[in-house]
């Protein structure tokens, strides 16, 4: 059976990690990437950068699946693009590495990527358009709202809540039952033991 084609939006370092997950999952065939004008014609892991943002309406005539492969600390750009491509009509399937463990009792929305080595335990709820990056541990009953980036090797303990658009830095560890607000940045390597208000920049 031929695989469904998908285009990737974003052609930087995070796109390479996304490509690896998509290849291992073996469900979608990568048709090409959307990048910046100056990147046109270059290749990422053997796949061509064949368009820029303005080409998306035309590309939608041929490809209906897309994944946002931009991995930034500022989640705003990802979230704007997510809304734009939804409006164009693209489907955004969730990509899950075969090397991740995702409980059957977890509920995961659309347009997410769950990367290699992630563990998502029972009762977890994840919205749309999130990156659950390599080796993150998402414990029971955690809730992650739309548009979050949960970086590499983070630990979100039981019942933690993460608001829309929040970035959790690499190796941060969040105590059980803690709520982190919307649009926060939690620095890498930090332990969070108290609730964090919306729009906070937490550096310890």
- Chain residues that interact with ligand COA, rule: CB under 6 A: 73, 133, 151-152, 169-170, 185, 187-190, 203-204
Least distance in angstroms from the C-beta of 146 to ligand COA: 18
Q: Are 49 and 34 in contact (CB under 8 A)?
A: yes
CB of 189 to ligand COA, least distance (A): 5
Nearest CB to ligand COA, comparing residues 103 and 152: 152
Minimum CB–partner distance for residue 36 and ligand COA (Å): 20
**Host H or E run for residue 137:** strand 137-138
In the complex, least distance from residue 174 CB atom to ligand COA, rounded to whole angstroms: 14
> Between 31 and 113, whose beta carbon lies closer to ligand COA?
113
| Short-list 182, 149, 153, CA closest to 168 | 149
Nearer to ligand COA (CB atom), residue 52 or residue 190: 190
Closest approach of Cβ 151 to ligand COA, in Å?
A: 4
In angstroms, the first-to-last Cα distance of the chain is 51
CA angle 78-84-89, nearest 5°?
Answer: 125
Our CB check for ligand COA shows the closer of 76 and 189 to be: 189
Are 114 and 129 contacting, i.e. CB atoms less than 8 angstroms apart?
Answer: no
Give the sign of the dihedral formed by CA 164, CA 15, CA 86, CA 114: negative
Choice between 12 and 93, CB closer to ligand COA: 12
* Kind of pairing between the strands at 66-68 and 43-44: unpaired
Bridge partners, residue 119, by sequence: 101, 137
């Amino acid at each position: 059976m031929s695989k469904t084609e998908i285009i990737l939006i974003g052609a930087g370092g995070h796109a390479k990690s996304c490509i690896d997950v998509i290849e291992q999952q073996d469900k979608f065939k990568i048709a090409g990437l959307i990048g910046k004008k100056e990147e046109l014609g270059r290749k990422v892991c053997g796949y061509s950068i064949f368009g820029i943002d303005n080409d998306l309406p035309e590309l939608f005539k041929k490809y209906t699946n897309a994944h946002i492969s931009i991995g930034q600390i500022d989640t705003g750009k990802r979230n704007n693009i997510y809304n734009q491509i939804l409006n164009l009509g693209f489907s955004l399937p969730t990509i899950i590495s075969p090397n991740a463990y995702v409980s059957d009792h977890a509920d995961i929305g659309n347009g997410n990527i769950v990367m290699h080595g992630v563990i998502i335990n029972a009762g977890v709820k994840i919205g749309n358009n999130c990156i659950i990056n390599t080796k993150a541990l998402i414990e029971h009953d955690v809730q992650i709202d739309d548009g979050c980036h949960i970086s590499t090797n983070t630990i979100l303990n039981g019942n933690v809540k993460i608001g829309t658009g929040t970035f959790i830095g690499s190796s941060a560890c969040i105590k059980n039952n803690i709520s982190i607000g919307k649009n926060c940045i939690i620095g890498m390597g930090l332990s969070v033991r108290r609730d964090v208000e919306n729009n906070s920049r937490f550096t310890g």
